[in-house]
A = this chain, B = another copy of it.
Amino acid sequence: MVTKQLGGLPEHADLTRADSLAREIFSDVANKWALLIINVLDDRTLRFSELRREVEGISHKMLTQNLRMMERNGLLVREVHPTVPPRVEYTLTEPGRALQRMVNGMCDWTQRYLGHIEGSRRRFDDA
């Protein structure tokens, strides 16, 4: 319970003082690999191997680890097709898609301010 809300107007959630559950969830989610997986999954249904290929640079281990965590938190569903060879597919849930919109926002942000950031870095590194 953690809103800065006092007067009644809906204020932004403040996780800096949040209870441990909210902080834990935020920590799970606010990590590079999870966010990149969400971004690439989008509204598609992808296999493990497809995700592995599309999330550039992720290792087999990190992918499984993050997929488990995201499934546990209800961000995506995992469907196993008992064929041989096995076929396992991942799809974002509604909460996952809600998050995905914000992740897309962050990606767009990165693109948009790329030049600004590059300049800021140069200035900083000179001094």
Contact = CB atoms under 8 A, between A and B. Distances in A.
In the complex this chain forms, how many copies of it are found?
2
Contacts of A18: 56, 110
A88 interface: no
Contacts of A83: none
B13 A120 contact: no
Given A30-B32, A99-B106, A109-B99, A116 B74 contact: yes
Nearest to A55: B16
Contacts of A55: 16
A52 to B, nearest CB: 11
A30 B35 contact: yes
A21 B114 contact: yes
Interface of A: 1-4, 12-18, 21-23, 25-27, 29-32, 35-36, 39-40, 42-44, 54-57, 71-74, 95, 98-99, 102, 104-114, 116-121, 124-125
